[in-house]
Structure 1
Amino acid sequence: MARIPYVEFEQATDETRQMYKKLENMNGQVVNIYKLLGNHPKALQGLMGLSLATYRSGELDPQLAELVYLHTSALNQCHY
């Protein structure tokens, strides 16, 4: 169980709900790190901007990028 509660869509403010909708359009879901930051909408917005700049920059095909994440995780012997 998380020490800081996740903010689900139903409990979110209008501002946070709008960001959740964008995340769902991008990823198909809102993962827990974003739900955690739903407690602080400005921090959520900042992480979304960082994520877009680093993971969705268009430099790599999304499927190839996912393979890179998986391979790096395996090399570092960490669970994905």
Structure 2
Amino acid sequence: MKKWSELSLEELNKTSSKLKGVLIGFIILGVLIALALIFLKAKPVLFIPVMVLPITWVPVYGTLKSVNDEIRLRNSPDVNQ
């Protein structure tokens, strides 16, 4: 995989869009799982994976943040001069 600085602005925007979609999908999936467990009146022990689930989103969020930082850096007026 290329470094963020080697990608074009268009590729960075596509990557950012994909990562946002993945993150939103994971969040929706987590909410649906939690609602299903509540609806099914599951035992409290089954909620442990749902509570740990947001920890798995941290790498995606970190990558999204670094991509957005690179986009912001390229769009800043100081770099374009």
TM-score normalized by structure 1? 0.30
Larger Cα-atom Rg: 2
| Higher normalized helix content (fraction of residues) | 2
The higher relative CO (CA closer than 8 Å, separation ≥ 6) is in 2
